[in-house]
Structure 1
């Protein structure tokens, strides 16, 4: 494991069928969609450009997981989060919760998420 990385965990399952369903759900009834991290960072056809640019500018290793990928790909020695979505900083094998669902659900747009995440990383 790298000494410091960011781990983003979506409250959604992996796979094309799930991605299609999630896109339709966000479009038809966005107020009932249960992954604010997905809703903020992804449009109908993938990651928003502003989000991709922000991730590229971080100069930190990042990992993105769906909730069903945790058993196979989650960091060794860390238990699966009970509440999702979530963003963690993993440093020397220790996980620090940067943002949980309550905070992520409060953001109205991608700009708010990026601003708050930037402050937490730099602060």
Structure 2
């Protein structure tokens, strides 16, 4: 299977910050001082919680979405994202594909709707397929 025929199994967003209490506090202080930024955080969060728009958007994708911090990445995600965070990866049976780079996420200005459009366009441009979530066709006449 080549990436151009690969089916997206899940999306992984990698924040440009460490997780855990210390990492979150470090990020928050840096954000308040203007010395730290993470465009993916701006898309998914408002204040200390997830944006309502984000929570409503994720189920429309038809694939799981995992958001991880730098210190939470497994070896595969680390290899695909090292030096390119924040980012969005599509995980396929053929491997991980970088969909959105830091500059592309920053250009979205924290917009969930623009993220949705750009993620779908990037997957299409990479030749990736979304899982077929349509109901299986039925045989026979439609129910009366």
TM-score, normalization by structure 2: 0.67
CA 29–23 in structure 1, closer or farther in 2 if over 3 Å, else same = same
Query: Against the structure 1 CA distance between its residues 56 and 24, is the aligned structure 2 distance closer, same or farther, given a 3 Å change threshold?
Result: farther
How many pairs are equivalent? 117
CA RMSD, Structure 1 to Structure 2 (Å): 2.5
Question: What CA distance in whole angstroms lies between the structure 2 residues aligned with 1:103 and 1:29?
Answer: 23
Query: What does residue 40 of structure 1 align with?
Result: 43
Larger radius of gyration: 2
- Please identify which structure carries the higher strand content: 1
| Cα separation, partners in 2 of 1:88 and 1:104, compared to 1, 3 Å | same
Task: Give 1:85 deviation, angstroms.
Answer: 0.4
Structure 2: 5+ residue stretches without partners: 1-7, 126-144
Which residue is 2:86 aligned to? 85
Instruction: Give ranges in structure 1 of 5+ residues lacking alignment.
Output: none
Equivalent pair of 1:4/1:92 in contact (CA under 8 Å):
yes
